[in-house]
Homo-oligomer: A and B are copies of this chain.
Amino acid sequence: MSQGGSAPPGLAAAGSREVSMTIPVAPEMEIVATAQAAALGEYLAMSRDKIDEVKLALVEACINAFEHANCRDEQLHLTFRLGKEGKEREWLEVEVLDRGRGFNHAAVEAPSPEKTFSSHRKRGWGLQIIKSLMDDVDITSGEWGTRIVMRKYK
C-alpha cells in the first residue's frame, strides 16, 4: 500500500477479501465494531465522511439486533468484505447476522418527520437511516434470525 493506490494487492493476492468477527450482544459493543469498519474503509482509502456513514449504518444494525432480536447465542456475527465492480468502483460491504427471532421487514411502517414530531413515538428510524446512508441494502429475516447486508462504494 505504500504507493497509496486503490486496489490492496495483498488481499487480492491472497484471494481473500473478507474479515469476519463475532461480538457480544452488549451495550457499546457497536462502537467496538465500528473500529473494524473504519480500519477497512481506511484500507480502501475511503473518505472520512463515507466511513462515518458506514459506521452509523453499522451502529444502527447492531442496535437493532441488541434491542429486538433476542439472540439465542447472545452474539452478533459481522462480516466485512472488500470488493470491486468493474475496474474502478471499490466497495466495502458489511453484513450483520443475528440468530434472533426475526421480523417481517415488509410490514415495518416507514417513519416520517411528521409522525415523529406529532407523536410520542420517536423511534423507528434505524432501517431508514441504514437505507439512506448505504448504497445497497439487503435484508433477509426468518425464524433463524436476521441478516442485513449493506454496501458502500468508495
Q: Any chain B CB within 8 A of the CB of A24?
A: yes
Q: Report chain B residues within 8 Å CB of A18.
A: 22, 24
- The proximity string for A residues 14-36 relative to B, scoring 1 for CB distances below 8 Å and 0 otherwise, is 11111111111111110110111
Q: By the criterion of a CB under 8 Å from any partner CB, how many residues of chain A are at the interface?
A: 33
CB atoms of A26 and B16 under 8 A apart = yes
Chain A residues touching B, majority SS: mixed
Q: Report chain B residues within 8 Å CB of A133.
A: none
Q: Report chain B residues within 8 Å CB of A24.
A: 11, 14, 16-19
CB atoms of A29 and B10 under 8 A apart = yes
What are 28 A-B interface contacts by the 8 Å CB criterion?
A1-B27, A1-B28, A8-B26, A8-B28, A10-B26, A10-B28, A11-B24, A11-B29, A14-B26, A15-B74, A16-B74, A17-B24, A18-B22, A18-B24, A19-B21, A19-B22, A19-B29, A19-B32, A20-B21, A21-B22, A31-B39, A31-B43, A32-B43, A34-B39, A35-B35, A35-B39, A36-B36, A36-B39
